[in-house]
A and B are shown apart, each in its own frame.
Chain A
Amino acid sequence: MDRREFLQRVAALGILAGAGKLLTFPPELLAMAPAERPEPLLAQASGSNYAHLVGDAVQALGGMKKFVNPNEVVVVKPNMAWDRTPELGANTHPVVVRKIVELCLEAGAKKVKVLDHTCHDARRAYANSGIKAAVEDIKDPRAVVEYVDERKFVEMNVPKAKSLKKWSFYKDILEADRFINVPVAKHHSEARLTMAMKNMMGAIGGWRGRIHVGLHQNIADMNLLLRADLTILDATRIMTQGGPSGGNPEYVQVKNLVIAGVDPVAIDAYGTTTLFGLQPQDIGYISKGYELGLGEMDIKKIKIVSA
C-alpha cells in the first residue's frame, strides 16, 4: 500500500464512520414511551421458597410471557448497590433475581442483562450481594451480569419534571425492549423507605449525591422516564432500621413476601402500609409520584391478588 492509497482508505473509512454516526438515533428517541396510568393491580405471594414466590406472583399477573416477548432484550435491575451479604438485607435476594432471569429466558428473551449503578465498589457489591454468582450459575449465555459502563450514560430531558428537568440516564435501560425493576424493601434514613421508585437511583448517572437535596421530587421525576414494564418487590426480608446500607442482621425482619405489579406507586404505597406500618402520604416521593400520574397511592383503589 503506498501513501496515496493509504490516505484514500483512511478518508473512505472516515466518511463511512461519519455516515454511521448520522444513522444513529438521537438519545431522546430511545426513551420509553410514557405509558398511560398503569393498572393498580398487585400480586402478592408468601412462603419460604423464594424462587416459588417469584414464580407464583408473576403467574398471578398472567405469567412472564405477558411481559416479555420472544427475542426481546430485557434489563433486570435489582438493588445490588452495597457490598453486603444477602442476610443483611441491603440488596435484593439473589434467589429472587435468579428466578426472574430464568422466567425471562423461558419467555424467550434474546438477552437478559442484570445491572445496577452501585454505591460501593461495583465488583465488591456484585460479588457479595451473591447476585453475580446466582445469575451466572444459570449458565445460559443469554443471561449476563454487566457492570455499568460510564460511556453509556446519556443526558436526557425529562418532560413534565418539576425539579429534575435534565439528568444522565443509562442508555441500555432506556433502549431495552423490556425493563424489570427488582427492588428490595428497606428503611432509608432520608427518604424513610426505599422500594420501587427509589430503586431507579441505580439507573442514573451523574453526581448522584446532588440528587439528595430535594430527593423526593427528584425520585418522582426520574420515574417519568424510567418506566418499568414490571416491578417485583423483594420483601422476603426487609431492613427496618440502619438503611439503606444496614450492616447488622438484627435490623432485618423476615417477611417471606414477594409483591409484583406494573404500577410502581401502588407497590410503594402497599409496601409502606403492609410492611412498615406507615401511611403512603408519609413518604414524599409516593405523593409526588402520584401527583405526576405515575400510579395509584390510594390503598383502597389498589387491587391485591394473592398467589
Chain B
Amino acid sequence: MNAHDLPPAAAGSPAPRSEAEPAQSTPPVFPLPVPWRGWVLVRRLSQLFFFLLFLIFFLQATYRGEDRLSWPVDLFFRFDPLLLLEHALASGSIVPRLLLSLFFVGLTLVVGRFFCGWICPLGTTLDGCRRLWQRTAPDPPLVFRLRRVKYYLLFFLLGAAVFQVNLAGLLDPLSLLFRTLATIIYPALSYGLEESFAKAYDWGPPLTYISEPVYGYLKDTILPFRRPVFLLPLLTLTIFLTIVGLERVAPRFWCRCLCPLGALYGLVARFAWLRKRPVKLCPDCGDCQPVCKMGAIHAEEVPRHQSAACILCLDCQEHCPKDRVAFRFGSKAPRPALDLGRRQVITAAAAGVVAVPFLRLGSLAHRPDEFLLRPPGVTSEADFLAQCVRCGLCFKVCPTGALQPLGWEQGLDGLYTSRLVPRLGYCEYNCTLCSQVCPTGAIPALPLEVKQASPMGTAFINRYRCIPYTEGRDCLVCEEHCPTAPKAIGFNTAEVADLHGKKVLVKLPVVNPEQCIGCGICENKCPVGGEAAIRVKRSLRLEM
C-alpha cells in the first residue's frame, strides 16, 4: 500500500499494519460470530456457473431441427435493467421480458452490486484473464478519479436515448461480450479446430482413427454446423483486447470506470441494505484496502466502504487478519457520498442530448444507402435503431450467416447493428429464429406467414453482368432458388446475341418487385463471382 495513494488523514497513520506501533484510535470491537470462510468459494462457483450458463446459452442459440428455439437463449439480457431503461426511453415502450431485470434491481437494493461480482460473465472473463499475469503494483490514483466516468457514460446514454438514439448496446457488458464471442472468438475457434481436423483427415489413417471420433464429438457438441464468418473482426478484437488489457492498469478497470450497467447497479447499490462492517477502514490494520479489486474502500478522509463500488466479492472478508470484516444488514453508519456531483450528472445527460444531432447527421447523410438491408420484419430504420441493442444474438442464430454487424457506414448510430448481407448468407424463407432471440423485439416476432410477406428489399438484375444477357447462355440459378410462390423471379425467352454474335434464344431472368421480399438467396447463389449479377436493394416500399 502506498501512503501517498491515501487521503491525508489515512496517510498520517503510517504503516498501520505494524503491530509494534500503537493504533492512534481505538480499534473497533465486534461481537461474534466470525463470518463463514466459504463465501468466497461460493462466489467463485456462482461466477463459474453463470459463465458456463452464458456459454451454454450461446451455443444453444442455433437451429437444432426445430422451428422454435426451446431455450431462452436471451436470458442474460433479461437481467439487464440498462437495456430496459434505454429501450423505454428511446422507443417509449416497455419490453415485457426485460422486466425480469427489475427483480435484479430489487435484489441489488437489498444486497448491493452482486450482479457484477457474482453473475456478470464479462466480470468473470476479466477476473479470469487477470490470472494470466501477476499484478502486484497498487492501483494508480487515476483509477479512482476515472471511476465517475461510468456514471457520465450512463447519463450520456440515457440523455441520448430520450431522443431515440440508443447506444446502450455499444457499452452494455452483456451485449459486448456476446457479440465478441459470436463474431470473433467462436468463429476463430471453429476455424482453427475445423482446419486442424481437416488436416488430420487429409493425412488419413492411422491419425484419423483418433481424430475423427473426436471431431464427430466436437461437431455434435460445440462446433457450429457451418463455419461462421463475420465482418468487423479487427475492430471487435481491438475493443475486447483493450478491455482485457486495462486489467493491467487496475483490476476490474472496466467495471470500476467504464461499465454503464455497473454504474446503474451502483446507483441502486448505494442504498443497499447489506453493508460491509466495519464501514470505516480500521486504523490499526487497513489490509482490506489493497485486497479490494474494485477499490471500494476509498475516498474521504478516513477511507470508507462504498457500497456503490462494492461487488460483494467478499475478498476483504476472506483476507481480514482480525476476523472483523463481515457483511451485515441494517447498518446505521453514515454512507459515503457518491463521487458524482449533480452538476456533472446534468452535464453528462445534456452532452448525450446534444450529441444526438451530431450522431444522427452521420447516419442521415447516408440514409439512402441502397444496399443496407435490415433483418426480416423490420419496417422502419428509425425504430430499428432505437431498439437494437447490438448484442449479436441474431448473428449467432442465423442459420446461413446472413446477419452481420454493420460497420461505420451509418456512423456510430448504426455501429454493430444487424444487417443482412446476401453475398455472405440469405434469409431462410421458413426461418424466424432471429426474431425469436432478439431481446428487445427490434426484430419483430412475426408469425411465419407475415414474415414471409414482409419485404427486406427488392432484387434487381444487373444486365451488364448477368450471364444470359451478356453471353446468351441459359443460367436461371436465381429463378430456381427464389422461394416465393409464385416466384418473384421469372424469365422471358428472347433472342440475344451470343459471344460469337449469333442470335440465340435464351431465358432472360426478370424480377417482379411486387412478389420479391428481398431474402437475398438469388444474390447469394448467383454464379457470377464478386459482385453478383442480381442484388437486393433496399425496397422502395421501405422508409429510407
Which chain A residues have a beta carbon within 8 Å of chain B's beta carbons? 16-18, 20-21, 23-24, 83, 119-124, 127-128, 132, 147, 151, 188-190, 207, 209-210, 212-215, 242, 244-248, 251
Instruction: Report the Cα distance A248→B483, complex, angstroms.
Output: 10
Q: Within 8 Å CB of B480, what residues of A?
A: 188-190, 212, 244-245
Contact for B527 among A122, A127, A207, CB less than 8 A: A207
Q: Within 8 Å CB of B202, what residues of A?
A: 151
Tell me the smallest distance from the CB of B120 to a CB of chain A, in Å: 33
Q: Within 8 Å CB of B473, what residues of A?
A: 213-214
Contact for A16 among B65, B206, B471, B477, CB less than 8 A: B206
Q: List 9 extra interface pairs beyond A23-B204, A209-B526, A245-B483, CB under 8 A.
A: A20-B203, A21-B204, A24-B205, A119-B481, A121-B63, A123-B64, A123-B225, A124-B428, A151-B198
Q: Are B483 and A189 in contact (CB under 8 A)?
A: no
Contact for B525 among A123, A209, A244, CB less than 8 A: A209
Q: Within 8 Å CB of B485, what residues of A?
A: 242, 246-248, 251
Contact for A20 among B207, B400, B491, CB less than 8 A: B207
User: Given contacts A17-B203, A245-B483, are A212 and B428 in contact (CB under 8 A)?
Assistant: no
Tell me the smallest distance from the CB of A103 to a CB of chain B, in Å: 26
Q: Are B205 and A245 in contact (CB under 8 A)?
A: no
Instruction: Report the Cα distance A277→B399, complex, angstroms.
Output: 39
Using CB atoms, name the residue of chain B closest to A214: B473
Which chain B residues have a beta carbon within 8 Å of chain A's beta carbons? 63-65, 198, 201-207, 225, 399-400, 428-431, 467, 471, 473-477, 479-487, 491, 507, 525-527
- By secondary structure, the B interface counts as loop
Using CB atoms, name the residue of chain B closest to A16: B206
Contact for A190 among B205, B400, B431, B475, CB less than 8 A: B475
Could you give 23 example pairs across A and B, Cβ below 8 Å?
A: A16-B206, A17-B203, A20-B205, A20-B206, A23-B204, A23-B205, A24-B204, A121-B399, A123-B65, A124-B428, A127-B65, A147-B225, A151-B202, A188-B480, A190-B474, A190-B507, A209-B475, A212-B527, A213-B474, A215-B474, A246-B485, A248-B485, A251-B485
Q: Are A83 and B207 in contact (CB under 8 A)?
A: no
Instruction: Report the Cα distance A215→B479, complex, angstroms.
Output: 15
Tell me the smallest distance from the CB of A172 to a CB of chain B, in Å: 13
Instruction: Report the Cα distance A21→B208, complex, angstroms.
Output: 11
Q: Are B487 and A213 in contact (CB under 8 A)?
A: no
Q: Within 8 Å CB of A207, what residues of B?
A: 527
Tell me the smallest distance from the CB of B215 to a CB of chain A, in Å: 10
Q: Are A120 and B203 in contact (CB under 8 A)?
A: no
Q: Within 8 Å CB of A189, what residues of B?
A: 476, 479-480, 491, 507
Q: Within 8 Å CB of B225, what residues of A?
A: 122-123, 147
Contact for A83 among B203, B205, B430, B526, CB less than 8 A: B430
Q: Are A124 and B207 in contact (CB under 8 A)?
A: no
Q: Are A210 and B527 in contact (CB under 8 A)?
A: yes
Contact for B486 among A121, A213, A242, CB less than 8 A: A242
Contact for A213 among B205, B467, B479, CB less than 8 A: B467
Q: Are B527 and A124 in contact (CB under 8 A)?
A: no
Query: Which among B206, B480, B507 has the greatest number of chain A C-beta atoms within 10 A?
Result: B480
Instruction: Report the Cα distance A5→B482, complex, angstroms.
Output: 61
Contact for B428 among A20, A120, A247, CB less than 8 A: A120
User: Given contacts A121-B63, A209-B477, are A248 and B486 in contact (CB under 8 A)?
Assistant: yes
Using CB atoms, name the residue of chain A closest to B63: A123
Q: Are B476 and A190 in contact (CB under 8 A)?
A: yes
Using CB atoms, name the residue of chain B closest to A190: B476
Using CB atoms, name the residue of chain B closest to A122: B225
Q: Within 8 Å CB of A17, what residues of B?
A: 203-204, 206-207
Contact for A212 among B205, B399, B477, B483, CB less than 8 A: B477
Using CB atoms, name the residue of chain A closest to B490: A189
Q: Are B400 and A213 in contact (CB under 8 A)?
A: no
Q: Within 8 Å CB of A246, what residues of B?
A: 485
Q: Are B476 and A20 in contact (CB under 8 A)?
A: no
| Across the A-B interface, the 8 shortest Cβ-Cβ residue pairs | A209-B527, A247-B485, A248-B485, A190-B476, A20-B205, A209-B477, A121-B399, A210-B527
Instruction: Report the Cα distance A188→B482, complex, angstroms.
Output: 12
Q: Within 8 Å CB of A127, what residues of B?
A: 65
Contact for A124 among B206, B430, B484, CB less than 8 A: B430
Q: Within 8 Å CB of B201, what residues of A?
A: 151
Query: Which among B207, B400, B477 has the greatest number of chain A C-beta atoms within 10 A?
Result: B477
Tell me the smallest distance from the CB of B169 to a CB of chain A, in Å: 27
Q: Within 8 Å CB of B205, what residues of A?
A: 20, 23-24
Q: Within 8 Å CB of A214, what residues of B?
A: 473
Tell me the smallest distance from the CB of B526 to a CB of chain A, in Å: 7
